[in-house]
Amino acid sequence: MIAIDFNTVGKCYKMKDKSDFWALRNFSYSVEPGEIIGVVGSNGAGKSTLLKICSRVVQPTTGYVDINGRVGALLEVGTGFHPELTGMENIFFNGAILGISRKEINEKIDDIIKFAGIEKFIDTPVKRYSSGMYTRLAFAIAAQLDVENMIVDEVLAVGDSEFQKKCLSKMDNMSKSGRTILFVSHDMTAITRLCNKAIWLQNGEIALIGEPNDVVQAYITHAVPRSTIDNIQSILDKLPEDPTIKITDIKITQRGNLQSVFFRDYPIEITIAYTILRKEPGTRVFVRVLSDNGCTILKSYHDTQTPFILEPGEYVSTMTIPGNILSNINYELGIGALVFNQRSCTGTIGEGVRIPLSIESIEPTDCYPDDAYQYRPLIKPHIQWTTVKL
């Protein structure tokens, strides 16, 4: 039995200049019971429009959506709640919207309140709730009541890390019990960890459907800020002239793709093309990896012999940062050239070209509050442990 069938769904809006804007177009896909489908794409790609059509908030301009079973939707903070009602009253109010009987809600009421973790405030009007408390209660209602289909927008990003973990675990269990989930998120780790399939939306249309890892890799590769790549040449052109060496190109790739967002699980290749203009002992190119506060945590030269002499000509040097070394944080690369123990050939000592480097993970990873910098490791290698019982 098909849980959700999208038959060539589209949504068109009239703009002020009376032109047509297709927020979603030619979307056709069938979702089976028990599947968790992740939807990725940049802002404005059509993700939220898709979910609003599925949850009947808006009607499609073309096509139709055929859904078997009840639908629970978490689209925006506060959707389906009345601000003047208490948390307890909104559980029944929201349940009625989902088509759940009062008897069924009464049977689940203790589980809902416990999962939400807001027992002290359950009799407080929700207009006094924080956005995180809204999210906790809304997810608890949809998760604990037996709706066959669940639609989750980026709203989970509002919750704290502990609650996010609990939600992801709950969705995993829900899919194993045969419920269908559509999950929109900018968290690529959650998409690859949780989903059976993924859909990449671009400009309102399907760009790719497939295995989550493949779709996320393709999306991230495409989503590289072109300025990061295109500006490298303009940055190189602004480097001071040096009589010994000139860097002509820099490429940063992973699995053969130019990127600025990388998976920590795979090696990162940094390729530096340069011209040696004259022989001078100790002429080298280097790569530094810096933390977000500017501290150097890794530095490597293309050759460590002293003295090292390159004949004039064109060269390409490539270094590889192994997978599972860097952590899930933002770094910066410093790439340049120098004459060992004499001078920098690319500006201030150790500077050269600075390029942002963002690391994601395709495996479950630790969650830290935004302000818990002291707990975030700067590097995170796989280290072998052994444990014996004495």
201: CATH: 3.40.50.300
Clarify whether residues 238 and 266 are in a common domain.
yes
205 located within any domain:
yes
Mention every residue, 6+ apart, whose C-beta is less than 8 A from residue 154: 184, 185, 186
Q: What global pTM score does this model have? A: 0.61
Clarify whether residues 194 and 273 are in a common domain.
no
Question: What CA–CA distance (Å, rounded) separates 196 from 176?
Answer: 11
Clarify whether residues 176 and 263 are in a common domain.
no
94 located within any domain:
yes
Clarify whether residues 66 and 193 are in a common domain.
yes
* Tens digit of each residue's pLDDT (9 = 90 or more) over 185-215: 877 777 887 888 999 998 889 999 999 888 8
8 Å CB contact between 354 and 334: yes
Clarify whether residues 197 and 243 are in a common domain.
no
* Tens digit of each residue's pLDDT (9 = 90 or more) over 135-145: 788 878 877 77
Question: Residue 96 CA to chain centroid, in angstroms?
Answer: 34
pLDDT band (50, 70, 90) for residue 1:
very low
Clarify whether residues 253 and 286 are in a common domain.
yes
Clarify whether residues 290 and 192 are in a common domain.
no
> Rounded mean pLDDT of 381-390?
69
Clarify whether residues 313 and 252 are in a common domain.
yes
Clarify whether residues 217 and 267 are in a common domain.
no
Place of tokens 């030619």: 26
**Domain containing residue 167:** 4-222
pLDDT band (50, 70, 90) for residue 123:
very high
Which pLDDT score is estimated for 247?
A: 93
Q: Work out the mean pLDDT of the chain and round it to a whole number.
A: 80
Clarify whether residues 59 and 205 are in a common domain.
yes
H or E segment at 49? helix 47-54
Residue at which a domain ends, from 222, 256, 286:
222
Which pLDDT score is estimated for 79?
A: 65
Place of tokens 């390159």: 310
Which pLDDT score is estimated for 52?
A: 85
Residue 275 has pLDDT above 90, yes or no: yes
Which pLDDT score is estimated for 389?
A: 60
Highest mean pLDDT among 214-228, 242-256, 362-376: 242-256
Q: What is the dihedral of CA 213, 214, 217, 219, to 10 degrees?
A: -110
Joined together, the tokens standing for residue 58 give 């808006």
Residue 236 has pLDDT above 90, yes or no: no
119 located within any domain:
yes
Residue at which a domain ends, from 172, 189, 222:
222
320 located within any domain:
yes
> Higher pLDDT residue, 315 or 351?
315
pLDDT band (50, 70, 90) for residue 157:
low
* Tens digit of each residue's pLDDT (9 = 90 or more) over 55-89: 888 889 998 888 888 787 777 656 678 888 999 99
Clarify whether residues 321 and 194 are in a common domain.
no
Clarify whether residues 350 and 203 are in a common domain.
no
162 located within any domain:
yes
Q: How many domains does the chain have?
A: 2
> Quick one: 132 exposed, middle or buried, by C-beta within 10 A (0-12, 13-18, 19+)?
middle
Residue 369 has pLDDT above 50, yes or no: no
Residue at which a domain ends, from 193, 222, 251:
222
Q: What order do you get walking across the sheet with 62-67 strand by strand?
A: 20-31, 4-14, 62-67
Question: What CA–CA distance (Å, rounded) separates 51 from 47?
Answer: 7
Which pLDDT score is estimated for 199?
A: 93
Residue 168 has pLDDT above 80, yes or no: no
8 Å CB contact between 182 and 31: yes
At 349, which CATH number? 2.70.50.60
> Rounded mean pLDDT of 372-378?
60
> Rounded mean pLDDT of 273-283?
92
339 located within any domain:
yes
11 located within any domain:
yes
> Rounded mean pLDDT of 223-240?
71
